[in-house]
Amino acid sequence: MKTVQYLMPAAALVLISCSSTKDFTVKTNPVGADIFINGKSVGKSNLTTRIAQNRVLTVMACKDGYVVTSTTIEPKTNRFMSWFWPEDSPGVRYIEGDEITINLEKLVTSQSYRPTTLAPFTGGGESSR
């Protein structure tokens, strides 16, 4: 009976601590990129927003002059909580970590393209006459 008496408060704390939403920070290098989470605009980086932990996150960063970059974050399953609820329940799945950093790659344009040095052109192939 005493074991149950001690397990109940511990289980209650675990249940309360498993929130279905949390703050999530998106940083980009360079800063100032437009950020979209699951297709919804959430602002410019660096930013902190509230996310649902039980859903797959697709984070996309867009900035003029840079390649559009996206990443997908899969929620993990809390094995202890899956004893109490189905695995697709909000209290069972969670996003590991509180932030992500996306490094943006400079877009190659006609203004920024710098060709490599090639051997001088010598006139092409030989004639067979």
User: Which amino acid, one-letter code, is at 53?
Assistant: Q
- Bridge partners (DSSP) of residue 66 are 106
Per-chain mean pLDDT for the chain:
77
The answer, yes or no, to whether residue 59 has pLDDT greater than 50, is yes
Quote the CA–CA distance of 8 and 86 in Å, as a whole number.
20
Please state the φ and ψ torsions of residue 116, each to the nearest 5 degrees: -75, 160
List pLDDT tens digits, range 99-126.
999 999 998 876 666 666 666 667 666 6
The answer, yes or no, to whether residue 89 has pLDDT greater than 70, is no
Q: What is the pTM of this model?
A: 0.65
